[in-house]
Structure formats: C-alpha cells, structure tokens
Amino acid sequence: MHRDHFVYSVRNLKNRGLRSWLTMIGIFIGIAAVVSLIGLGEGLRVAIMSQFGFLGPDVLGVQAAGLAFAGPPGTGVVDPLADDLAEKIKNVNGVKAAFNRYLESGTLEFNDKRGIGIAASVPEGENKKIFETMVNLKAEEGRLLKDSDSRKVVLGNDFKKGETFGKAIKPGDRVLVNGISFEVVGILEKKGSFIFDSIVLMNEQTMFDVIGTNKAQVNVIAVKVEDAGRIGEVKEGIEKLLRKERNVKKGEENFQVNSPQQTLEALSSTLFAVQLFVYIIAAISLAVGGIGIMNTMYTSVLERTKEIGIMKSIGARNSAIFTIFFVESGLLGMVGGIIGVILGLSFAFGLSAVGRAVLGSELIQASISPFLIIGALLFSFALGTVFGVLPAYRASKLNPVDSLRSAK
C-alpha cells in the first residue's frame, strides 16, 4: 500500500517539474555547501596535520623571532640564535636533548633542469639518532646519512616522481646543490608533508664546509623533552633561559619556543571555528531551503484541495493523505540532498584538482568521509519531512465536503 502512495507522490513531483526543481535548489545549495566546504576544510586540516603531525608531543622548537620575508623558518631574522645556545638549553630541567638545525634555501639541479628547494642539516654524533627518531626518518631507497658522509645528500620522497626534473632521482645519481656536485645516497619514505617530501638533507659539517652556511646563525634549535606531560614546564624553563641569554624582558621576547603539537592544536581549533562558521551558514541556507519545501507543500495542498476531497470521498483515510504529502516533501528533501552531495563532491574534488594543477599546492585537497555523505543525505531527508509535517497534516485534516466544493 505504501508503495502505491510513494509512486503517487513521485508522479505528483514530476508533474510539478519546474516547481519541484526550484524548491530543491534551496536544499541542494545548502547541502552542496556543507559537503564541499567541510570536505575541503577537513582536507586542509589533514594536509596541515601531515606537515608536522609526525613530530611527537615531546618535541619543542626554538626560533629567533623577527621578519622572515622569504626562505626557511628562522632565516633572515635580525638577531639569530647563537650556536652555543643548544648546549645551555640541554641543561634546562627536563630537557633530554637539544641540537642546532640549519636550513638553507638554494637551487638544485638534475638532468639539466633546475629547481628551488630547502636544504636542512642533519646533526652529527649522538644527536643524529635522536633526530632520526624525532622525525621518524627512514630511507625508502638507499640509506640515511652517516657521520662520515661528505658531499652526500638524502632527498625527500617527491624527487622520486621526477616532476621537477623530468626524471626520477635514484640513489647513486649526482645532483648539483647551489652548483656544487653531491651524490644522492638515499630517498626518504613519503611523509605526506610537502616540506619534508621535498627536502634535501645533508650533514651539518657538509653544510658549513661545502655550502658555506654560517655556523653562528642557528635557524632552529630542536628540543626533545624527557616527559611529554611536563612539556609546558620545560617550555617555560627554556623561555626563562633565553630571556636571560638574549637580555630581553618578559613580554618583549625576540624568540619563540613552540611545540609543533600545540601549534597544530591551535591551528585545528582555528580551523574548527572556521568550519563551525561554515556549518552555521549552511544551516541557515538549509533552513531557508526547508521553508521553501514547506511553502511548496502548502501551495500544493491548496492546489490539490479538490484532489484530496476526491480521494477522501473514494475511501482515503486521513493517514493515507498524510502519507502522500509527507512522502512528497521527504522526497523533495532527499533528491535535493542527493544532487547537493553530488554537486558538493564535484566542487570539492574539482577545486582540489585545480589547486594541484594550477597552484601546485597540496593544501587544497578534499577529504570526504562516508559519514559526511550519509549524514548529509539523512539530514536533507529529515529536513524535507520535518518541514512537510505541517502541510501534510493540514491536507489530511481537510473536510471532504469543502474540498470537493473547491474550485479546482
């Protein structure tokens, strides 16, 4: 029996083709907005997370603050970190290890093609192991650097793709870093971080000797704490030390001590606020869409008053009339939702494809979970039915005598 009501409802919607579509626009714009914006927002979150997310909760980074217009973090600052600072930080209570990191931007040439990239130092001695575990460094091809390696580099996973140089770089190949020839000894595992996947790693000493990096200008001091639970305390300790060392007052610090995890959490909460805002806008749009459904359904009840009277006179109970109208508005919501989901998906994936192709940025990517899709569909159906209840109830309660007498 309900199947017949369903068929009848579908037929009515088809009959009012243009109006049904117009009503659904309200829904599918809302749903498309929800699906695409949440998908892209989630994608952005995933992308940001993957940049630093592999750094554990027990890691701190110390940087000199200042304006760095271009280049890697900590370069071009007014008052760089001194190279003996790491040793002092090591003595702060709760610090397990601290070592200098040097970053250098420059050119990389291979296969007669030139690219721009960031070279990063790998500490030597006991800090090398700590660094390798800290960032979970593993070679996918070849090997990692040894202390004895000079004029040797390990490259990020992206160099395997051969996008920049027209051909994949393999261990054993030679590349030119700032015009100087290096041997590639290994390719790193993929990290999902565009910084790490396109990095050029070389030994610290090589960087000073061959590239000419200034040993006295440290870009970042990486700190590993003993107990992740006490990271806040350790951070304060380091800040206190640095204020003293650099002779600045509290509140006027010209340096930063960051925990990547905390930074990510702050970023996530910002992103969440943005997403919440999007949710609210989408909710308003959906409420408007829902009212559109209600409006259409009321009009439909008015238009079909006589039809309702006829159906009642030939034995339709109130519940049957209710079902017919209820299903109709539910269908308006659901079909609107399906189209909205399809539009939202195409928009999100389209935009991320454009982002990759035009901007070359992997930050614009869509991450759409099945829950989002199912949720959007259920929500749109619920929206249709909720806003259809009143019109359907009104239709079901129409008096058959008056309905039959109505003009049309």
Partner 1 sequence: MKKSIIKLENVWKVYQMGNVEVNALQGLSLDVKEGEFLAIMGPSGSGKSTAVNMIGCLDVPTKGRILLDGHDISKLSESELAQVRGKKIGFIFQQFNLIPTLTALENVALPIVFQSVGRETRIKKSTELLNIVELGDRMHHKPAELSGGQQQRVAIARSLANDPEVILADEPTGNLDSKTGEIVMKFLQNLNRKEGKTIITVTHDSNVARHADRIEFLKDGKVIKSLNNRKGD
Question: Which residues contact partner 1 by CB under 8 A?
Answer: 1, 4, 8, 11-12, 15, 306-307, 310-320, 400-401, 404
Closest to partner 1 by CB, 223 vs 327, is 327
Q: How far apart are CA 403 and CA 408, in angstroms?
A: 9
Are 271 and 38 spatial neighbours (Cβ–Cβ below 8 Å)?
no
The dihedrals phi and psi of 343, each to the nearest 5 degrees, come to -60, -45
Closest to partner 1 by CB, 19 vs 306, is 306
Q: 318-354 and 370-396 are packed helices; what angle lies between their axes, rounded to 10 degrees?
A: 150
Closest to partner 1 by CB, 16 vs 160, is 16
Closest to partner 1 by CB, 217 vs 403, is 403
CA atoms within 13 A on the CB side of 308: 29
Q: For 355-388, b where at least 16 C-beta lie within 10 A, e where not — what string?
A: beeeeeebbbbbbbeeebbeebbebbbebbbebb
Question: Measured from the CB of residue 21, what is the shortest distance to partner 1 in angstroms?
Answer: 17
Task: Return the ∠ at Cα 6 (arms to 303 and 389), rounded to 5°.
Answer: 60
Contacts (Cβ under 8 Å, ≥6 apart) of 67? 76, 77, 78
Question: Measured from the CB of residue 326, what is the shortest distance to partner 1 in angstroms?
Answer: 16
Question: Measured from the CB of residue 313, what is the shortest distance to partner 1 in angstroms?
Answer: 5
Closest to partner 1 by CB, 214 vs 319, is 319
Q: Which two tokens stand for residue 356?
A: 């990759």
Question: Measured from the CB of residue 334, what is the shortest distance to partner 1 in angstroms?
Answer: 21
Are 150 and 132 spatial neighbours (Cβ–Cβ below 8 Å)?
no
Closest to partner 1 by CB, 51 vs 305, is 305
The dihedrals phi and psi of 144, each to the nearest 5 degrees, come to -85, 175
Q: Residue type for 231, please? A: I
Question: Measured from the CB of residue 379, what is the shortest distance to partner 1 in angstroms?
Answer: 30
Question: Measured from the CB of residue 26, what is the shortest distance to partner 1 in angstroms?
Answer: 24
Closest to partner 1 by CB, 357 vs 407, is 407
Question: Measured from the CB of residue 32, what is the shortest distance to partner 1 in angstroms?
Answer: 30
Closest to partner 1 by CB, 93 vs 318, is 318
Q: How far apart are CA 294 and CA 393, in angstroms?
A: 12
Question: Measured from the CB of residue 19, what is the shortest distance to partner 1 in angstroms?
Answer: 14
Q: Which two tokens stand for residue 185?
A: 């000894």
